[in-house]
Amino acid sequence: QKQNRSATMSALPPDTCFLALGDEDSVLSLREQIAALEGVLNTLEPRRKVLLIPPDYTRYHSRVGPLTAACDRYFGDRVKDVLPALGTHAPMTPEQFSKMFEGVSFDKMRVHDWRNDVVTIGEIDEEMVSKASDGAMREPFPVQLNRLVWEGEHDLIISLGQVVPHEVLGMANYNKNLFIGVGGAEAINLSHFIGATYGMERMMGIAWNPLRAILEEASKLTKELPILYVLTVVGRDDDTGELVTRGLFCGTGYSCFASAAELSLKVNFTMLEEPLDKAVVYLDAEKFHSTWLGNKAIYRTRMAMRDGGHLIILAPGVCRFGEDDAIDLLIRKFGYRTTPETMENLKNSFELKENLSAAAHLIHGSSEGRFRITYCPGGLSKEEVEGVGYDFSDLEAMRARYDPEVLRDGWNLVEGERVFFVSNPAIGL
Protein backbone atom coordinates (compact mmCIF):
# COMPACT_ATOMS: atom_id res chain seq x y z
CA GLN A 1 0.00 0.00 0.00
CA LYS A 2 2.86 2.35 0.76
CA GLN A 3 4.33 1.61 -2.67
CA ASN A 4 1.01 2.26 -4.39
CA ARG A 5 0.49 5.62 -2.64
CA SER A 6 3.99 6.73 -3.64
CA ALA A 7 3.46 5.61 -7.24
CA THR A 8 0.06 7.28 -7.52
CA MET A 9 1.52 10.64 -6.50
CA SER A 10 3.96 10.50 -9.43
CA ALA A 11 1.76 8.67 -11.94
CA LEU A 12 2.13 9.27 -15.67
CA PRO A 13 -0.84 9.64 -18.05
CA PRO A 14 -2.01 6.23 -19.37
CA ASP A 15 -1.17 5.08 -22.90
CA THR A 16 0.29 8.38 -24.02
CA CYS A 17 2.86 8.70 -26.80
CA PHE A 18 5.06 11.69 -25.97
CA LEU A 19 7.47 11.23 -28.86
CA ALA A 20 7.41 9.50 -32.26
CA LEU A 21 10.52 10.58 -34.12
CA GLY A 22 11.84 9.25 -37.44
CA ASP A 23 10.79 7.13 -40.40
CA GLU A 24 12.28 4.38 -42.56
CA ASP A 25 14.72 6.80 -44.23
CA SER A 26 15.77 8.73 -41.13
CA VAL A 27 19.28 8.64 -39.71
CA LEU A 28 18.90 10.09 -36.24
CA SER A 29 22.08 11.43 -34.69
CA LEU A 30 22.75 10.78 -31.01
CA ARG A 31 22.49 14.51 -30.39
CA GLU A 32 19.02 14.60 -31.95
CA GLN A 33 17.90 11.62 -29.90
CA ILE A 34 19.16 13.01 -26.61
CA ALA A 35 17.61 16.42 -27.27
CA ALA A 36 14.26 14.78 -28.06
CA LEU A 37 14.44 12.54 -25.00
CA GLU A 38 15.33 15.44 -22.72
CA GLY A 39 12.41 17.35 -24.21
CA VAL A 40 10.11 14.60 -22.94
CA LEU A 41 11.80 14.47 -19.54
CA ASN A 42 11.43 18.24 -19.21
CA THR A 43 7.65 17.87 -19.31
CA LEU A 44 7.58 15.63 -16.23
CA GLU A 45 7.18 16.79 -12.68
CA PRO A 46 10.39 16.78 -10.60
CA ARG A 47 11.54 13.28 -9.65
CA ARG A 48 13.56 12.26 -6.62
CA LYS A 49 14.17 8.51 -7.10
CA VAL A 50 14.66 7.07 -10.60
CA LEU A 51 15.09 3.47 -11.75
CA LEU A 52 16.54 2.74 -15.20
CA ILE A 53 15.81 -0.62 -16.86
CA PRO A 54 17.97 -0.89 -20.00
CA PRO A 55 18.81 -4.03 -22.00
CA ASP A 56 21.93 -6.01 -21.16
CA TYR A 57 25.12 -6.28 -23.18
CA THR A 58 23.66 -8.86 -25.55
CA ARG A 59 21.53 -5.97 -26.87
CA TYR A 60 24.47 -3.62 -27.35
CA HIS A 61 23.39 -3.02 -30.96
CA SER A 62 20.07 -1.55 -29.73
CA ARG A 63 21.80 1.85 -29.47
CA VAL A 64 20.07 2.31 -26.14
CA GLY A 65 23.30 2.44 -24.12
CA PRO A 66 23.98 6.14 -24.83
CA LEU A 67 20.34 7.00 -24.11
CA THR A 68 20.61 5.24 -20.75
CA ALA A 69 23.73 7.28 -20.03
CA ALA A 70 21.86 10.44 -21.10
CA CYS A 71 19.08 9.68 -18.60
CA ASP A 72 21.72 9.18 -15.91
CA ARG A 73 23.32 12.54 -16.70
CA TYR A 74 19.92 14.25 -16.77
CA PHE A 75 18.84 13.04 -13.34
CA GLY A 76 22.28 12.72 -11.77
CA ASP A 77 22.26 11.27 -8.27
CA ARG A 78 18.48 10.92 -8.43
CA VAL A 79 19.11 7.79 -10.51
CA LYS A 80 19.42 5.37 -7.63
CA ASP A 81 19.35 2.06 -9.50
CA VAL A 82 20.20 0.66 -12.94
CA LEU A 83 18.67 -2.79 -13.42
CA PRO A 84 19.62 -4.39 -16.76
CA ALA A 85 16.82 -6.58 -18.13
CA LEU A 86 18.78 -9.82 -18.05
CA GLY A 87 15.94 -12.28 -18.32
CA THR A 88 17.87 -15.55 -17.98
CA HIS A 89 21.18 -14.10 -19.19
CA ALA A 90 24.42 -13.89 -17.25
CA PRO A 91 25.06 -10.62 -15.34
CA MET A 92 26.97 -7.84 -17.07
CA THR A 93 30.63 -7.50 -16.21
CA PRO A 94 32.05 -4.13 -15.14
CA GLU A 95 33.76 -3.88 -18.53
CA GLN A 96 30.53 -4.52 -20.44
CA PHE A 97 28.61 -2.09 -18.25
CA SER A 98 31.11 0.74 -18.70
CA LYS A 99 31.31 0.18 -22.46
CA MET A 100 27.53 0.12 -22.97
CA PHE A 101 26.62 2.82 -20.42
CA GLU A 102 29.59 5.13 -20.64
CA GLY A 103 29.88 7.41 -17.62
CA VAL A 104 27.28 5.59 -15.50
CA SER A 105 28.63 4.44 -12.15
CA PHE A 106 28.85 0.66 -11.85
CA ASP A 107 27.84 1.11 -8.21
CA LYS A 108 24.30 1.83 -9.44
CA MET A 109 24.01 -1.53 -11.20
CA ARG A 110 21.65 -4.10 -9.72
CA VAL A 111 21.68 -7.72 -10.90
CA HIS A 112 18.34 -9.30 -11.75
CA ASP A 113 18.07 -12.76 -10.17
CA TRP A 114 15.27 -14.35 -12.19
CA ARG A 115 15.05 -17.42 -9.99
CA ASN A 116 14.87 -15.78 -6.58
CA ASP A 117 14.58 -12.00 -6.39
CA VAL A 118 11.03 -11.59 -7.76
CA VAL A 119 7.53 -10.99 -6.48
CA THR A 120 4.28 -12.28 -7.98
CA ILE A 121 1.83 -9.38 -8.12
CA GLY A 122 -1.12 -11.23 -9.67
CA GLU A 123 -2.06 -13.67 -12.38
CA ILE A 124 -3.81 -13.79 -15.75
CA ASP A 125 -6.75 -16.11 -16.29
CA GLU A 126 -5.98 -19.60 -17.61
CA GLU A 127 -8.40 -19.10 -20.50
CA MET A 128 -6.05 -16.54 -22.06
CA VAL A 129 -3.14 -18.93 -21.61
CA SER A 130 -5.07 -21.77 -23.25
CA LYS A 131 -5.97 -19.56 -26.20
CA ALA A 132 -2.42 -18.26 -26.59
CA SER A 133 -0.92 -21.76 -26.53
CA ASP A 134 -3.53 -23.37 -28.80
CA GLY A 135 -4.65 -25.47 -25.84
CA ALA A 136 -1.19 -26.83 -25.00
CA MET A 137 -1.23 -25.13 -21.58
CA ARG A 138 -4.14 -24.41 -19.31
CA GLU A 139 -2.93 -22.65 -16.19
CA PRO A 140 -2.85 -19.07 -14.91
CA PHE A 141 -0.02 -16.81 -16.08
CA PRO A 142 1.92 -15.42 -13.08
CA VAL A 143 2.65 -11.70 -13.32
CA GLN A 144 6.12 -11.34 -11.83
CA LEU A 145 8.53 -8.47 -11.38
CA ASN A 146 11.91 -7.95 -9.82
CA ARG A 147 11.29 -6.93 -6.22
CA LEU A 148 13.09 -3.63 -6.75
CA VAL A 149 10.63 -2.60 -9.49
CA TRP A 150 7.55 -3.35 -7.39
CA GLU A 151 8.77 -2.39 -3.91
CA GLY A 152 11.49 0.16 -4.61
CA GLU A 153 9.20 3.22 -4.28
CA HIS A 154 10.70 4.92 -7.33
CA ASP A 155 8.81 7.92 -8.63
CA LEU A 156 10.02 7.27 -12.18
CA ILE A 157 10.87 3.99 -13.90
CA ILE A 158 12.39 4.33 -17.37
CA SER A 159 12.38 1.14 -19.44
CA LEU A 160 14.62 1.42 -22.50
CA GLY A 161 15.04 -0.96 -25.43
CA GLN A 162 14.88 -1.76 -29.11
CA VAL A 163 11.75 -2.82 -30.99
CA VAL A 164 12.74 -5.58 -33.41
CA PRO A 165 11.27 -8.91 -34.59
CA HIS A 166 11.38 -11.47 -31.78
CA GLU A 167 10.87 -15.22 -31.72
CA VAL A 168 8.86 -15.36 -28.46
CA LEU A 169 6.76 -12.20 -28.54
CA GLY A 170 6.58 -11.25 -32.21
CA MET A 171 8.19 -7.89 -31.55
CA ALA A 172 10.68 -7.30 -28.75
CA ASN A 173 10.49 -4.78 -25.96
CA TYR A 174 7.85 -2.54 -24.35
CA ASN A 175 6.29 -4.48 -21.44
CA LYS A 176 8.35 -7.57 -22.34
CA ASN A 177 11.25 -5.66 -20.75
CA LEU A 178 9.37 -5.78 -17.44
CA PHE A 179 7.47 -9.05 -17.26
CA ILE A 180 10.16 -11.15 -18.94
CA GLY A 181 13.33 -9.02 -18.87
CA VAL A 182 13.04 -8.50 -15.10
CA GLY A 183 10.41 -11.16 -14.54
CA GLY A 184 10.56 -14.45 -12.64
CA ALA A 185 11.25 -18.04 -13.61
CA GLU A 186 7.58 -19.07 -13.80
CA ALA A 187 6.62 -16.19 -16.10
CA ILE A 188 9.73 -16.55 -18.28
CA ASN A 189 9.21 -20.30 -18.61
CA LEU A 190 5.51 -20.04 -19.42
CA SER A 191 5.83 -17.11 -21.83
CA HIS A 192 8.57 -18.80 -23.84
CA PHE A 193 6.65 -22.05 -24.00
CA ILE A 194 3.45 -20.27 -25.08
CA GLY A 195 5.40 -18.57 -27.86
CA ALA A 196 6.89 -21.89 -28.99
CA THR A 197 3.58 -23.77 -29.01
CA TYR A 198 1.78 -20.92 -30.78
CA GLY A 199 4.50 -21.11 -33.44
CA MET A 200 7.39 -18.89 -34.38
CA GLU A 201 6.22 -18.52 -37.96
CA ARG A 202 2.86 -17.19 -36.72
CA MET A 203 4.54 -14.88 -34.21
CA MET A 204 7.65 -13.27 -35.70
CA GLY A 205 7.15 -9.62 -36.56
CA ILE A 206 3.53 -9.51 -35.36
CA ALA A 207 3.12 -6.81 -32.71
CA TRP A 208 -0.31 -7.89 -31.47
CA ASN A 209 -0.66 -11.59 -30.75
CA PRO A 210 -2.11 -13.76 -27.97
CA LEU A 211 1.03 -13.59 -25.81
CA ARG A 212 1.22 -9.80 -26.10
CA ALA A 213 -2.45 -9.72 -25.09
CA ILE A 214 -1.48 -11.52 -21.87
CA LEU A 215 1.22 -8.94 -21.15
CA GLU A 216 -1.26 -6.14 -21.80
CA GLU A 217 -3.51 -7.66 -19.14
CA ALA A 218 -0.48 -7.84 -16.87
CA SER A 219 0.19 -4.14 -17.45
CA LYS A 220 -3.18 -3.33 -15.89
CA LEU A 221 -1.73 -4.55 -12.59
CA THR A 222 1.13 -2.04 -12.82
CA LYS A 223 -0.89 1.00 -13.91
CA GLU A 224 0.07 2.89 -10.77
CA LEU A 225 3.79 2.45 -11.41
CA PRO A 226 5.27 5.55 -13.12
CA ILE A 227 6.73 3.74 -16.14
CA LEU A 228 8.08 5.59 -19.18
CA TYR A 229 9.10 3.51 -22.21
CA VAL A 230 11.96 4.70 -24.42
CA LEU A 231 12.08 2.61 -27.61
CA THR A 232 14.50 2.64 -30.54
CA VAL A 233 14.19 1.22 -34.06
CA VAL A 234 17.58 0.39 -35.56
CA GLY A 235 18.39 -0.58 -39.14
CA ARG A 236 21.34 -0.96 -41.45
CA ASP A 237 22.38 1.82 -43.81
CA ASP A 238 22.21 0.43 -47.33
CA ASP A 239 25.25 2.40 -48.49
CA THR A 240 27.67 2.03 -45.58
CA GLY A 241 26.38 -1.16 -43.98
CA GLU A 242 26.55 0.56 -40.59
CA LEU A 243 23.78 0.41 -38.02
CA VAL A 244 21.76 3.61 -37.74
CA THR A 245 18.85 4.69 -35.57
CA ARG A 246 15.72 5.13 -37.68
CA GLY A 247 13.24 5.90 -34.92
CA LEU A 248 12.88 6.98 -31.30
CA PHE A 249 9.62 6.64 -29.39
CA CYS A 250 8.69 7.60 -25.82
CA GLY A 251 5.42 6.86 -24.10
CA THR A 252 3.51 5.08 -21.39
CA GLY A 253 1.57 2.34 -23.17
CA TYR A 254 0.79 0.20 -26.18
CA SER A 255 0.21 3.02 -28.69
CA CYS A 256 3.85 4.11 -28.43
CA PHE A 257 5.04 0.53 -28.91
CA ALA A 258 2.65 0.02 -31.84
CA SER A 259 4.13 3.04 -33.63
CA ALA A 260 7.65 1.71 -33.11
CA ALA A 261 6.60 -1.76 -34.30
CA GLU A 262 5.05 -0.28 -37.42
CA LEU A 263 8.36 1.36 -38.28
CA SER A 264 10.28 -1.82 -37.45
CA LEU A 265 8.17 -3.68 -40.02
CA LYS A 266 9.58 -1.33 -42.65
CA VAL A 267 13.15 -1.25 -41.35
CA ASN A 268 13.91 -4.71 -39.96
CA PHE A 269 12.41 -7.02 -42.60
CA THR A 270 14.30 -8.22 -45.66
CA MET A 271 11.86 -9.64 -48.21
CA LEU A 272 13.40 -12.08 -50.68
CA GLU A 273 12.39 -13.10 -54.19
CA GLU A 274 13.19 -16.74 -53.48
CA PRO A 275 14.06 -19.02 -50.54
CA LEU A 276 17.69 -19.36 -49.46
CA ASP A 277 19.66 -22.43 -50.52
CA LYS A 278 22.66 -21.42 -48.45
CA ALA A 279 22.93 -18.78 -45.73
CA VAL A 280 25.94 -17.86 -43.62
CA VAL A 281 25.41 -16.03 -40.32
CA TYR A 282 28.18 -14.46 -38.28
CA LEU A 283 27.94 -14.16 -34.49
CA ASP A 284 30.09 -11.44 -32.93
CA ALA A 285 32.41 -13.13 -30.43
CA GLU A 286 32.03 -10.31 -27.92
CA LYS A 287 28.24 -10.64 -27.71
CA PHE A 288 27.38 -14.28 -28.44
CA HIS A 289 28.87 -16.82 -26.04
CA SER A 290 26.15 -19.47 -26.04
CA THR A 291 23.71 -21.11 -28.44
CA TRP A 292 20.97 -19.76 -26.13
CA LEU A 293 21.85 -16.34 -27.55
CA GLY A 294 23.47 -17.39 -30.81
CA ASN A 295 20.47 -19.29 -32.10
CA LYS A 296 19.09 -15.97 -33.28
CA ALA A 297 20.99 -17.09 -36.36
CA ILE A 298 18.31 -19.77 -36.75
CA TYR A 299 15.25 -17.81 -35.57
CA ARG A 300 15.85 -14.90 -37.90
CA THR A 301 16.57 -16.95 -41.05
CA ARG A 302 14.35 -20.03 -40.77
CA MET A 303 11.34 -18.45 -42.49
CA ALA A 304 13.55 -17.72 -45.51
CA MET A 305 15.36 -21.06 -45.73
CA ARG A 306 14.48 -23.44 -48.55
CA ASP A 307 13.58 -27.01 -47.65
CA GLY A 308 16.84 -28.92 -47.97
CA GLY A 309 18.87 -25.70 -47.64
CA HIS A 310 22.00 -25.20 -45.56
CA LEU A 311 22.54 -22.68 -42.74
CA ILE A 312 26.14 -22.16 -41.61
CA ILE A 313 26.75 -20.33 -38.32
CA LEU A 314 30.20 -18.83 -37.72
CA ALA A 315 30.38 -18.55 -33.93
CA PRO A 316 33.89 -17.75 -32.67
CA GLY A 317 32.70 -16.78 -29.17
CA VAL A 318 30.27 -19.65 -28.55
CA CYS A 319 31.66 -21.90 -25.83
CA ARG A 320 28.50 -23.28 -24.17
CA PHE A 321 24.84 -23.97 -24.84
CA GLY A 322 22.90 -22.32 -21.99
CA GLU A 323 23.55 -19.00 -20.28
CA ASP A 324 22.60 -20.73 -17.05
CA ASP A 325 24.28 -23.95 -15.84
CA ALA A 326 20.98 -25.77 -15.25
CA ILE A 327 19.67 -24.95 -18.72
CA ASP A 328 23.03 -25.78 -20.28
CA LEU A 329 22.70 -29.29 -18.85
CA LEU A 330 19.14 -29.64 -20.18
CA ILE A 331 20.19 -28.61 -23.71
CA ARG A 332 23.03 -31.16 -23.61
CA LYS A 333 20.64 -33.85 -22.40
CA PHE A 334 17.72 -33.33 -24.77
CA GLY A 335 19.19 -31.49 -27.76
CA TYR A 336 17.57 -29.45 -30.52
CA ARG A 337 15.05 -31.95 -31.85
CA THR A 338 11.80 -31.57 -33.78
CA THR A 339 8.76 -30.20 -31.98
CA PRO A 340 7.06 -33.63 -31.66
CA GLU A 341 10.25 -35.09 -30.17
CA THR A 342 10.65 -32.23 -27.67
CA MET A 343 6.98 -32.42 -26.69
CA GLU A 344 7.37 -36.16 -26.07
CA ASN A 345 10.48 -35.49 -23.94
CA LEU A 346 8.48 -32.90 -22.05
CA LYS A 347 5.83 -35.47 -21.13
CA ASN A 348 8.44 -37.78 -19.66
CA SER A 349 10.81 -35.32 -17.95
CA PHE A 350 10.06 -33.54 -14.69
CA GLU A 351 13.15 -31.34 -15.04
CA LEU A 352 12.08 -30.18 -18.50
CA LYS A 353 8.57 -29.45 -17.21
CA GLU A 354 10.16 -27.31 -14.50
CA ASN A 355 12.14 -25.38 -17.14
CA LEU A 356 9.66 -24.68 -19.92
CA SER A 357 11.81 -21.87 -21.32
CA ALA A 358 14.44 -24.51 -22.07
CA ALA A 359 11.85 -26.67 -23.84
CA ALA A 360 10.77 -23.63 -25.85
CA HIS A 361 14.37 -22.84 -26.71
CA LEU A 362 14.89 -26.40 -27.99
CA ILE A 363 11.85 -26.04 -30.26
CA HIS A 364 12.95 -22.63 -31.51
CA GLY A 365 16.44 -23.92 -32.24
CA SER A 366 15.29 -26.79 -34.46
CA SER A 367 14.97 -26.65 -38.22
CA GLU A 368 12.15 -29.20 -37.83
CA GLY A 369 14.11 -31.34 -40.24
CA ARG A 370 13.56 -28.86 -43.08
CA PHE A 371 17.13 -27.67 -43.55
CA ARG A 372 20.64 -28.45 -42.39
CA ILE A 373 22.31 -26.43 -39.62
CA THR A 374 26.10 -26.41 -39.29
CA TYR A 375 27.60 -24.76 -36.23
CA CYS A 376 31.22 -23.58 -36.32
CA PRO A 377 31.92 -22.62 -32.69
CA GLY A 378 35.16 -21.35 -31.19
CA GLY A 379 34.75 -23.17 -27.88
CA LEU A 380 32.69 -26.34 -28.35
CA SER A 381 33.89 -29.70 -29.64
CA LYS A 382 32.56 -31.72 -32.56
CA GLU A 383 31.13 -34.24 -30.10
CA GLU A 384 29.31 -31.57 -28.11
CA VAL A 385 27.76 -29.91 -31.15
CA GLU A 386 26.68 -33.14 -32.80
CA GLY A 387 25.37 -34.34 -29.44
CA VAL A 388 22.67 -31.65 -29.45
CA GLY A 389 21.63 -32.35 -33.04
CA TYR A 390 23.64 -29.90 -35.18
CA ASP A 391 26.32 -30.58 -37.77
CA PHE A 392 29.82 -29.39 -36.87
CA SER A 393 32.51 -27.80 -39.00
CA ASP A 394 35.90 -26.28 -38.22
CA LEU A 395 35.60 -22.57 -37.57
CA GLU A 396 38.85 -21.50 -39.19
CA ALA A 397 38.25 -23.54 -42.33
CA MET A 398 34.75 -22.14 -42.74
CA ARG A 399 35.84 -18.60 -41.90
CA ALA A 400 38.56 -18.84 -44.55
CA ARG A 401 35.94 -19.75 -47.14
CA TYR A 402 33.19 -17.43 -45.91
CA ASP A 403 35.23 -14.50 -44.59
CA PRO A 404 32.93 -12.19 -42.57
CA GLU A 405 35.39 -9.36 -43.17
CA VAL A 406 34.90 -9.71 -46.92
CA LEU A 407 31.26 -10.73 -47.32
CA ARG A 408 28.58 -8.06 -47.44
CA ASP A 409 25.11 -8.43 -45.99
CA GLY A 410 22.86 -10.00 -48.60
CA TRP A 411 23.84 -11.98 -51.68
CA ASN A 412 27.49 -12.84 -52.35
CA LEU A 413 29.29 -15.04 -54.87
CA VAL A 414 31.89 -17.25 -53.17
CA GLU A 415 33.97 -19.31 -55.60
CA GLY A 416 30.99 -19.59 -57.90
CA GLU A 417 28.60 -20.39 -55.06
CA ARG A 418 25.68 -18.01 -54.35
CA VAL A 419 25.49 -17.33 -50.59
CA PHE A 420 23.28 -15.04 -48.49
CA PHE A 421 25.26 -13.44 -45.65
CA VAL A 422 23.93 -12.01 -42.36
CA SER A 423 26.51 -10.17 -40.26
CA ASN A 424 24.21 -9.66 -37.25
CA PRO A 425 21.04 -11.74 -36.88
CA ALA A 426 19.80 -9.65 -33.96
CA ILE A 427 18.76 -6.64 -36.04
CA GLY A 428 16.18 -8.08 -38.40
CA LEU A 429 14.21 -10.89 -39.95
Reported as a single tens digit per residue, the pLDDT across 137-165 is 888 999 999 999 999 999 999 999 999 99
245, 28 in Cβ contact below 8 A? Answer: yes
Among 81-95, 191-205, 253-267, 281-295, the least confident range? 191-205
pLDDT of residue 197: 85
Identify the CA nearest to 179 among candidates 126, 143, 132. 143
Rg (alpha carbons) of the chain, rounded to whole number: 21
pLDDT of residue 99: 97
Q: Per the confidence metrics, is the pTM higher than 0.85?
A: yes
Burial 36-50 (b: 16+ CB within 10 A, else e): bbeeebeeeeebebb
Is the pLDDT score of 5 beyond 70?
Answer: no
Share of the chain above pLDDT 70, in %: 98
Q: Give the C-alpha separation, 404 to 309, whole Å.
A: 20
pLDDT of residue 180: 96
Residue type for 414, please? Answer: V
Is 273 in a helix, a strand, or coil?
Answer: coil
